[in-house]
């Protein structure tokens, strides 16, 4: 009588705890664990690393003078946005509330420059539209 064995590592049924069968193939519990570890490591390395808020503020400081509170608020919002996107669908999610930012201030205070600089540094598109055409 033929003894079943793992199609991946070759171990016999009696050498492993569990042998899972498929169409003409078998895989043992040890190989399943190894495969899960490999997939988890690949997924972790493929996940993009986004800079923490402090690094975003430091980068904005190189281009925009003043506006400390605005730079801090933007950097935290951007970091949370990317964290929310990166964690979508993962078990044990950290639930972050959706956040919007409304920047108000006089002409020339740096609102557009902050947004443009942030978009450029994050390599994301940036568009400007005149809202007066909508009324």
Between 90 and 125, where is the model more confident? 125
What percentage of the chain reaches a pLDDT higher than 70?
Answer: 88
Tokens of 33: 């664990």
Tokens of 84: 């929310």
- Over residues 54-64, the mean pLDDT reads 92
**Cβ(7)–Cβ(26) under 8 Å?**
yes
Instruction: Please list the alpha-helical segments (H only) found in 15-130.
Output: 29-46, 53-61, 68-87, 111-122
Q: What is the pLDDT of residue 7?
A: 93
> pLDDT (tens digit, 9 = 90+) per residue, 67-98?
899 999 999 999 988 887 776 655 555 566 67
CA distance 61 to 71: 8
Q: Which residues pair with 19 in a beta bridge?
A: 28
Residue 20: its H or E element: strand 19-22
Q: How confident is the model at residue 58 (pLDDT cuts 50, 70, 90)?
A: very high
């Amino acid at each position: 009588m033929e003894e079943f064995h793992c199609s991946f590592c070759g171990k016999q049924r009696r050498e492993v705890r569990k042998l899972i069968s498929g169409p003409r193939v078998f895989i043992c519990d040890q190989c399943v664990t190894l495969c899960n570890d490999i997939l988890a490591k690949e997924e972790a390395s493929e996940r993009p690393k986004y800079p923490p808020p402090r690094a975003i503020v430091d980068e904005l400081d190189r281009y925009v003078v003043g506006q400390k509170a605005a730079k801090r608020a933007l950097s935290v919002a951007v970091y949370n946005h990317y964290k929310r996107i990166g964690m979508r669908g993962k078990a044990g999610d950290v639930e972050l509330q959706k956040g919007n930012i409304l920047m108000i201030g006089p002409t020339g205070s740096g609102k557009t420059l902050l947004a443009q600089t942030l978009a450029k540094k994050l390599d994301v598109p940036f568009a400007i539209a005149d809202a007066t055409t909508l009324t």
